[in-house]
Structure 1
Amino acid sequence: MHTVIPRTPNSRREFDSYAVTAEFYDILQADEDEARVRRLYGREVAKARSGVLDIGAGTGRVTMLALADSRADVHAVEPARAMRTSLLTRLASLPAEQRDRVTVHPHPLDEAALHAVADVAVCHNMVGCLPPALRERLWSAIGGALTPDGSLFLQLPPARLPVRTVVRVLADKRVGEHIYGGRMTMSAAGYRIRTRVDYWVRNAKDVLREHSETFWMWPATRARLVDELAQHGFVPLPGHNDSELLAVTLRSGR
């Protein structure tokens, strides 16, 4: 079972979250996540004409892909300060030509006042963090931010609650004399999924630091998301059969 640390772009209470996770996110998951981002969105991002909208940009995997593989402007939406700090640090190292094409928005999408700025929108690793009411706000905001022919590509959240506790150990990564590691534990908690992430830093002899952070996720099936998006003018986009991905486009004449 694939498990990722969830991203939350539209819940005000989460704006200052990820203070723990931001330190460990890239070092423990960067290689795997970069490959997944390219596989899921690379072809569509490269074809963007008017713009790419990266919703819940995190530390910038989709944003960096869009800047490298397209000539379109990029709008990176990331309300969480800790993740946004990592994103801006990464952007600071880019050539001026690429920096000039990206705008970072420190507010939820429904507060960012974006209208028809992109023909490609991406929600990577974040939809599961939104309860139904916030998902509805997100769909509406995406519809407004896309051009009339725009499409949305989103990584599907878990479809259902786990029947038993799922534990995933993240592969250790060495940085100089220190080794960084982590473990994610997912379990059902009522109608939500509780995800606890434990991190540690150790040397050859001792554990030097330990930290943890807890996130909540709301399962949703592909069919349910298709129905929700239909209420906001989206229809399935043919030719996209990846089991991790839902691709939709704005209905003609919307």
Structure 2
Amino acid sequence: MLTILSGPSDLRRESDSYAVTAEFYDILQADADEVRVRRLYARHIADARTGVLDVGAGTGRVTVLALAHSGVDVHAVEPARAMRTSLLTRLAALPTEQRNRVTVHPRPLDELALDSVADVAIGHNMVGCLPPGIREKLWPALGKALTPGGSLFVQLPPARLPTRTIVRLLADKRVGEHVYGGRITMSAVGNRIRTRADYWVRDAEDVLREQTETFWMWPATRAQLTRELAAHGFAQLPGYEESELLAVTLPGRR
């Protein structure tokens, strides 16, 4: 998420972002995202022996997976209040044993005193939301939070700007008498990707509500991110050249 790192005052105000999306995300997108999260990270989480760090936890799909598939402590970093509310609601329904192993951090990662707390760190669906200057603050903060020999798995952002407007319609979901729907529209604006999320709620006859939220994304290639991480001591893990993940390890003490 955009708010995992501190920055200029205008970026800090993003801690109240996702206020619209938080209401609609789980009902419209989280089921598909849960399948993706399990496919990408389940086996890595199962290998954790020290802890799991979920960077930009959102509503908690990676966090809950880590609690279910490991016996280690989990650190969930989510400064956005709206997303964190959904995350904590989800955690409240978990068994006490799992809930006692998770700490939710409501501040940016670079403001946290997390030192060698995890041997597995995951950045799911978040790196593309960071401007390059802010993104580069993420790597040393992650390097500090990981143990020597720990691994970082980052879902790659778009590698380039879209050449045309891309529209993705979200599948409708019924909740009682109401049907929730949405649409994601992505287009290039300068060096950024403008992502507009349109949501609506309707009954059998009328649209009852419509709401919109806009996000910005910054494309980055695998090679570019690899170079940034290498500058902070990270080395590539083999076997991920064709994956949608960037996988790196921290060979030794910083």
TM-score, normalised by the number of residues in structure 2 = 0.96
Mapped to 2, the partners of 1:91 and 1:246 lie a distance apart of 28
Percent sequence identity is 76
Mapped to 1, the partners of 2:52 and 2:111 lie a distance apart of 18
Mapped to 1, the partners of 2:107 and 2:14 lie a distance apart of 11
Post-superposition offset of 1:30: 1.3
Pairing of 1:55-74 with structure 2 (within 5 A): 55-74=55-74
- Partner of residue 20, structure 2: 20
- Partner of residue 137, structure 1: 137
Equivalent position amino acid for 1:68 in 2 = A
Equivalent position amino acid for 1:128 in 2 = G
Mapped to 1, the partners of 2:112 and 2:86 lie a distance apart of 20
C-alpha contact 1:233 1:251 (8 A) present in aligned 2 = yes
Mapped to 1, the partners of 2:148 and 2:192 lie a distance apart of 34
Mapped to 2, the partners of 1:148 and 1:230 lie a distance apart of 15
- Partner of residue 198, structure 1: 198
Mapped to 2, the partners of 1:174 and 1:7 lie a distance apart of 30
Mapped to 2, the partners of 1:42 and 1:165 lie a distance apart of 33
TM-score, normalised by the number of residues in structure 1 = 0.96
* Count of residues in Structure 1 that have an aligned counterpart in Structure 2: 249
C-alpha contact 2:182 2:198 (8 A) present in aligned 1 = yes
Post-superposition offset of 1:14: 1.3
C-alpha contact 1:7 1:58 (8 A) present in aligned 2 = no
Post-superposition offset of 1:133: 1.0
Secondary structure of the 1:15 match is helix
C-alpha contact 1:151 1:250 (8 A) present in aligned 2 = yes
Mapped to 2, the partners of 1:7 and 1:208 lie a distance apart of 30
Equivalent position amino acid for 2:57 in 1 = A
After superposition, the Cα gap between the structure-2 partners of 1:81 and 1:196, relative to the gap in structure 1 and judged at 3 Å, is same
C-alpha contact 1:53 1:75 (8 A) present in aligned 2 = yes
* Superposed CA offset, 1:118-170 (max 9, x none): 00000000000101111111001000000011110010000000000000000
Mapped to 1, the partners of 2:237 and 2:252 lie a distance apart of 12
Mapped to 2, the partners of 1:242 and 1:208 lie a distance apart of 44
* Superposed CA offset, 1:159-191 (max 9, x none): 000000000000000001100000011000000
Mapped to 2, the partners of 1:8 and 1:207 lie a distance apart of 32
Equivalent position amino acid for 2:116 in 1 = A
Gaps of 5+ in 1: 1-5
- Partner of residue 251, structure 2: 251
C-alpha contact 1:8 1:126 (8 A) present in aligned 2 = no
Post-superposition offset of 1:8: 4.1
Mapped to 1, the partners of 2:2 and 2:192 lie a distance apart of 15
Post-superposition offset of 1:253: 5.7
Mapped to 2, the partners of 1:152 and 1:127 lie a distance apart of 12
Equivalent position amino acid for 1:208 in 2 = L
Are 2:239 and 1:239 equivalent residues in the alignment? yes
C-alpha contact 1:122 1:153 (8 A) present in aligned 2 = yes
Secondary structure of the 2:67 match is helix
Gaps of 5+ in 2: 6-10
C-alpha contact 2:3 2:12 (8 A) present in aligned 1 = no
Q: Give the one of 4, 9, 12 matched to 1:9.
A: 4
C-alpha contact 1:7 1:125 (8 A) present in aligned 2 = no
CA RMSD of aligned residues (A): 1.1
Mapped to 1, the partners of 2:19 and 2:157 lie a distance apart of 23
Post-superposition offset of 1:31: 1.2
Post-superposition offset of 1:241: 4.2
Post-superposition offset of 1:240: 2.7
* Superposed CA offset, 1:62-87 (max 9, x none): 00000000001000000000000000
- Partner of residue 180, structure 1: 180
Mapped to 1, the partners of 2:52 and 2:242 lie a distance apart of 21
Mapped to 2, the partners of 1:66 and 1:241 lie a distance apart of 25
Pairing of 1:110-189 with structure 2 (within 5 A): 110-189=110-189
